[in-house]
């Protein structure tokens, strides 16, 4: 049967374009055969949450908006890692850099924007980057492992978010800004000064009124030279000085451009059948860089494509919120005084609160909030709606009263337009939340979060969501505690207890019996349930591969360029000439571009193609080092008494024994061990999850260390005399951690949460240790190296290779 649907091609797999597709699928799901091209090797993700990823608040999996299953379920063909290089608007065809030629009936350009890089001498040096996408985020994380000093050029919204993330990564951060105060486009000077003081207390340094002159260094950046002759030392320079619409493709194709791609109120360009939406689009002379206007554009475009009547897009009033841990800042509208306006201010230096309202003709036209931003969404709504506030000025300045909000009569929430965006991070409108409450039966914030994603990211819209819940649900509102995610109200301990009590044996069964709010769960709960079931029923449970992250499914670490990193296991960091020769031969055969020693005394083969992974593991014929999983990663050792004149015990022998004992052990978080042959501690055992330090006549056993972003020294668990006792205590500790910790909780966090004394109380009883040891041996007895399956099972290997070679979804 001939497919009579029109062919719709979207160039750009970002937030604005895909949001337009989401709206279109709701309005007219069968009207188009949809193809999407994205330059990045990732599905659609929430770019504005990158700062949260950098600061440790979210994982990459958690900021994915539409996973690959979403594209598949809606029949969308996705080309990841493909860049459209040219468009033939006469023949209506697009051409990708990978040789794909595709015809279209309708074409959406959502090419986004590019970071503006200052044309400074030396800007091409290694270590000079922007902060725009996942790749930049990964570079910052990698740089923080080897370097200490970072300079961020730009004291605006994005620059401060990048700087805070780098602080979280343990770097020394200086923010360079050409203006006398930071965030001058969003804040007035008093609010800016308060913000700067708060950020300085967090460790951030500021170099204001500075004109950057040149970037110093030979191959890699070493510093930043200013026009006044001063120099700031830098191992990394992040430019966050603005963005510019990506119009190159449009220009080459004859599409009219100015600063952006020029569009009318229906997002149409000057070429029939070609539309533009998002940061690349210029509407009435304005190119927006914030998410809410882009979502509004997407909704209008979807209606146009679905032939649904629409008034068109008339522009947006914008608001901004700084996503920095421990700091609340909100700005909206015209926040500076102009002729014909008046400003009201409230400042409390003790509590760190500042509010400013700008009023014109009895209407609120702008607002700045610092320290207490709870009223931000309500004030923004009033700015957009042009509400008359005469007589309410004091109430608004000192805080909108709860009585006013709760009153059905004149309720400001009720007066909001249905298509107004409530959750800017995820583009959730008032009508979507209303529908979730009225038709979907949601009676709590958690249920709304699970159903619509509102308040699931930064959480800034939660007060507004609560207000809408009260408005539409009234007496049916249920106050519930937060569960492990928005899909359930149950916490970790409750879930584990119910799985054990009712002997639940699959992820789907847990979700059904425990009444999950969402049928398929989410990126937070599925991996945790998969772990809890495997921990409780090691001999019966079949690991659910689809609940694992990409790295764990492919058994290799994906890199920023889409290639993979392979790390074979080298027990205790001890190898042989024959093993080294084998690794070298395999690396040469598969043309591995880089081989690197890791911090855990292993070899990392970087730049491996996905399709080569099965064959490479077969050639290596070595166990996986599990450098990608929540399992035992490494056991670091020094040479100990075997060679060192200070060594008192055989550190290498003990390290190899521990690693062979616990390899392939699934744990709530990644686990690293180390064995030092004397108290000089060359293997850094006292910042590991389980550390063993040799002393005269025995071993010290240490727990709960972490050498990452938040360094934590271990606590001394006990002192033992024999090697067998080391294994007994290590087995007991690791199993107790497996059974008691929450998913994704490292030992350092767990030990701090439950306390050293409570752990000692359990493990000091030998009967408890032996029982725990027996359970960990049972769990280990059913594990095999994951690559044995792919190498030895032809059908599984065939499926993997087919998946690896797919260029579309």
Residue 68 CA to its chain's centroid (Å): 17
**DSSP string over 548-561:** S-HHHHHTSEE-TT
Better-predicted residue by pLDDT, 692 or 416 = 692
With residue 624 as reference, give the H or E element that holds it.
Answer: none
Query: Residue 236: helix, strand or coil by DSSP?
Result: strand
pLDDT at 64 over 90: no
| pLDDT for residue 292 | 83
Residue 324 carries which DSSP code?
Answer: B
- For 802, other C-beta atoms within 10 Å of its C-beta total 10
Which of 53-67, 509-523, 570-584, 774-788 has the lowest average pLDDT?
53-67
Q: Report, as an integer, the average pLDDT of 407-427.
A: 65
Alpha helices in 537-612 (DSSP H): 550-554, 577-589
pLDDT at 380 over 80: yes
Which of 550-554, 656-660, 712-716 has the lowest average pLDDT?
550-554
Burial of 258 from C-beta contacts in 10 A (0-12 / 13-18 / 19+): exposed
| pLDDT for residue 424 | 72
pLDDT at 405 over 50: no
Better-predicted residue by pLDDT, 565 or 108 = 108
**Helical pair 613-620 and 794-805, crossing angle rounded to 10 deg:** 130
- The residue written with tokens 């709010």 in the block is 517
> 6-113+245-305 architecture in CATH?
3-Layer(bba) Sandwich (3.50)
Sorting pLDDT into bands at 50, 70 and 90, what band is 561?
low
| pLDDT for residue 395 | 84
Q: What percent of the chain has pLDDT over 70?
A: 92
Q: State residue 483 phi and psi, 5-degree precision.
A: -95, -160
Which residues are paired to 356 by β-bridges?
345, 368
| pLDDT for residue 709 | 61
Sorting pLDDT into bands at 50, 70 and 90, what band is 236?
very high
pLDDT at 802 over 70: no
Q: What is the pLDDT of residues 279-289, one digit of tens each?
A: 999 999 999 98
CB 509 within 8 A of CB 495: no
Query: If one looks up domain 629-784 in CATH, what number appears?
Result: 3.30.413.10
- The answer to whether the 6-113+245-305 and 128-241 domains have the same CATH topology is yes
Query: Residue 40: helix, strand or coil by DSSP?
Result: coil
- The residue written with tokens 């740089």 in the block is 143
Sorting pLDDT into bands at 50, 70 and 90, what band is 478?
confident
End-to-end CA distance of the chain: 22
Residue 513 CA to its chain's centroid (Å): 30
Topology annotation, domain 128-241: FAD/NAD(P)-binding domain (3.50.50)
Q: What percent of the chain has pLDDT over 90?
A: 59
What per-residue string of b and e applies to 106-117 under the rule 16 or more CB within 10 Å gives b?
Answer: bbbbbbbbbbeb
What is the rounded distance in angstroms from the CA atom of residue 263 to the CA atom of residue 270? Answer: 7
| pLDDT for residue 808 | 35
What is the rounded distance in angstroms from the CA atom of residue 467 to the CA atom of residue 446? Answer: 14
What is the rounded distance in angstroms from the CA atom of residue 808 to the CA atom of residue 78? Answer: 5
Domain range list for the chain: 6-113+245-305, 128-241, 492-548, 549-624, 629-784
- Mean of pLDDT over the chain: 88
Residue 622 carries which DSSP code?
Answer: -
- What pTM value is reported for the model? 0.63
| pLDDT for residue 458 | 65
Query: Residue 415: helix, strand or coil by DSSP?
Result: helix
CB 269 within 8 A of CB 276: yes
Q: Report, as an integer, the average pLDDT of 605-619.
A: 88
Sorting pLDDT into bands at 50, 70 and 90, what band is 484?
confident
Q: Is the dihedral of CA 565, 568, 569, 570 positive or negative?
A: negative
pLDDT at 787 over 60: no
The CATH number fitting domain 549-624, selected from 3.90.480.10, 3.90.1150.10, 3.30.450.20, 1.10.260.40? 3.90.480.10
| pLDDT for residue 794 | 52
Instruction: Provide the annotated binding site for siroheme.
Output: 682
- For 470, other C-beta atoms within 10 Å of its C-beta total 17
Sorting pLDDT into bands at 50, 70 and 90, what band is 795?
very low
pLDDT at 554 over 80: no
Report the side by side order of strands in the sheet with 594-597. 557-558, 564-566, 603-608, 594-597
Tokens of 225: 């030279």
The pairing of strands 84-88 and 243-245 is unpaired
CB 746 within 8 A of CB 705: no
Give the side-chain half-sphere CA count within 13 A for 275.
27
Query: Residue 75: helix, strand or coil by DSSP?
Result: coil
What is the rounded distance in angstroms from the CA atom of residue 793 to the CA atom of residue 448? Answer: 44
| Plot region of 98 (φ>0 → left; ψ -120 to 50 → alpha; else → beta) | alpha
Tokens of 126: 């290694």
Write 529-535 long-range contacts (CB < 8 A, 24+).
Answer: 529/495, 531/630, 531/666, 531/668, 531/743, 532/492, 532/495, 532/496, 532/499, 532/743, 533/499, 533/504, 533/505, 533/506, 533/507, 534/666, 534/779, 535/666, 535/738, 535/739, 535/779
Instruction: Provide the annotated binding site for [4Fe-4S] cluster.
Output: 638, 644, 678, 682
The pairing of strands 149-153 and 172-177 is parallel
Instruction: Provide the annotated binding site.
Output: 638, 644, 678, 682
What is the rounded distance in angstroms from the CA atom of residue 690 to the CA atom of residue 748? Answer: 10
Q: What is the pLDDT of residues 74-127, one digit of tens each?
A: 999 999 999 999 999 999 999 999 999 999 999 999 999 999 999 999 999 999
Q: What is the pLDDT of residues 125-136, one digit of tens each?
A: 999 999 988 889
| pLDDT for residue 244 | 94
Sorting pLDDT into bands at 50, 70 and 90, what band is 480?
low
Candidates 597, 591, 713, 734; CA nearest to 658 is 734
| pLDDT for residue 407 | 43
- For 793, other C-beta atoms within 10 Å of its C-beta total 12
pLDDT at 54 over 60: yes
| pLDDT for residue 35 | 97
């Amino acid at each position: 049967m001939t497919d009579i649907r029109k062919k719709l091609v979207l160039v750009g797999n970002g937030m604005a374009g895909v949001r337009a597709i989401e709206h279109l699928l709701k309005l007219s799901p069968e009207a188009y055969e949809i193809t999407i091209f994205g330059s990045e090797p990732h599905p659609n993700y929430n770019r504005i949450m990158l700062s949260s990823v950098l600061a440790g608040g979210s994982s990459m999996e958690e900021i994915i908006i539409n996973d690959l299953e979403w594209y598949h379920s809606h029949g969308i063909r996705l080309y990841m890692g493909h860049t459209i290089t040219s468009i033939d608007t006469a023949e209506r065809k697009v051409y990708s850099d990978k040789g794909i030629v595709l015809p279209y009936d309708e074409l959406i350009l959502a090419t986004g924007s590019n970071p503006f890089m200052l044309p400074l001498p030396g800007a091409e040096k290694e270590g000079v980057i922007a902060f725009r996408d996942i790749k930049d985020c990964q570079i910052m994380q990698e740089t923080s492992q080897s370097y200490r000093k970072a300079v961020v050029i730009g004291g605006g919204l994005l620059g401060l978010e990048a700087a805070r993330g780098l602080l979280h990564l343990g770097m020394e951060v200086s923010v360079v800004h050409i203006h006398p105060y930071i965030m001058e486009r969003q804040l007035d000077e008093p609010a800016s000064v308060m913000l700067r003081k708060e950020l300085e207390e967090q460790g951030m340094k500021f170099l204001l009124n500075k004109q950057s002159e040149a970037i110093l260094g030979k191959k890699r950046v070493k510093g930043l030279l200013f026009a006044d002759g001063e120099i700031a030392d830098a191992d990394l320079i992040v430019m966050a000085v603005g963005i510019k619409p990506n119009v190159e493709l449009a220009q080459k194709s004859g599409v009219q451009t100015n600063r952006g791609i020029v569009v009318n109120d229906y997002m149409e360009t000057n070429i029939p059948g070609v539309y533009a939406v998002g940061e690349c689009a210029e509407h009435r002379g304005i190119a927006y860089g914030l998410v809410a206007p882009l979502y509004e554009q997407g909704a209008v475009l979807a209606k146009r494509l679905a032939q649904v009547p629409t008034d068109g897009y008339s522009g947006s009033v914008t608001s901004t919120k700084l996503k920095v841990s421990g700091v609340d800042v909100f700005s909206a509208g015209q926040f500076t005084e102009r002729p014909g306006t008046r400003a009201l201010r409230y400042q409390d230096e003790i509590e760190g609160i500042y509010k400013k309202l700008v009023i014109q003709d009895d209407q609120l036209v702008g607002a700045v909030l610092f320290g207490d931003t709870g009223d931000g969404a309500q004030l923004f709504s009033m700015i957009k709606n042009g509400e008359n506030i005469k007589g309410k000025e004091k109430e608004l300045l000192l805080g909108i009263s709860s009585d006013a909000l709760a009153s059905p009569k004149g309720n400001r929430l009720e007066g909001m337009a249905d298509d107004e965006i409530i959750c800017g991070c995820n583009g959730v409108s008032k009508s979507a939340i209303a529908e979730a409450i009225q038709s979907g039966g949601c009676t709590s914030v958690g249920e709304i979060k699970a159903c619509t994603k509102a308040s699931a990211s930064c959480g800034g819209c939660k007060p507004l969501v609560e207000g809408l819940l009260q408005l539409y649900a009234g007496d049916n509102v249920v106050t519930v505690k937060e569960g492990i995610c928005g899909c359930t109200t149950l916490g970790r301990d409750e879930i584990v207890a119910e799985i054990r009590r009712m002997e639940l044996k699959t992820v789907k069964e847990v979700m059904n019996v425990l009444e999950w709010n969402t049928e398929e769960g989410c990126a937070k709960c599925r991996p945790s349930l998969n772990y809890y079931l495997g921990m409780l029923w090691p001999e019966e449970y079949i690991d659910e591969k689809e609940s694992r992250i990409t790295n764990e499914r492919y058994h290799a670490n994906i890199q920023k360029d889409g290639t993979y990193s392979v790390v074979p296991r080298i027990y205790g960091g001890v190898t042989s000439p024959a093993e080294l020769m084998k690794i070298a031969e395999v690396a040469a055969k598969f043309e591995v571009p880089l081989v690197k020693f890791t911090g855990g005394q292993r070899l990392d083969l970087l730049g491996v193609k996905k399709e080569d992974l099965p064959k490479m593991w077969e050639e290596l014929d070595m166990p996986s080092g599990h450098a990608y999983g929540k399992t035992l990663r490494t056991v670091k050792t020094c040479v100990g008494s075997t060679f060192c004149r200070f060594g008192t015990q055989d550190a290498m022998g003990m390290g190899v024994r521990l690693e062979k004992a616990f390899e392939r052990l699934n744990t709530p978080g990644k686990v690293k061990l180390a064995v030092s042959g004397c108290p000089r501690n060359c293997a850094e055992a006292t910042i590991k999850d389980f550390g063993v330090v040799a002393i005269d006549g025995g071993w010290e056993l240490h727990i709960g260390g972490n050498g990452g972003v938040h360094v934590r020294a271990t606590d001394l668990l006990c002192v033992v005399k024999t090697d067998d006792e080391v294994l007994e205590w290590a087995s007991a500790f690791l199993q107790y951690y497996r059974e008691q910790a929450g998913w994704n909780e490292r030992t350092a966090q767990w030990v701090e949460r439950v306390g050293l004394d409570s752990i000692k109380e359990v493990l000091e009883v030998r009967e408890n240790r032996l029982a725990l040891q027996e359970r960990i041996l049972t769990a280990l007895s059913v594990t095999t190296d994951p690559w044995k399956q792919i190498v030895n099972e032809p059908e599984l290997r065939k499926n993997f290779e087919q998946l690896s070679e797919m260029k579309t979804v």
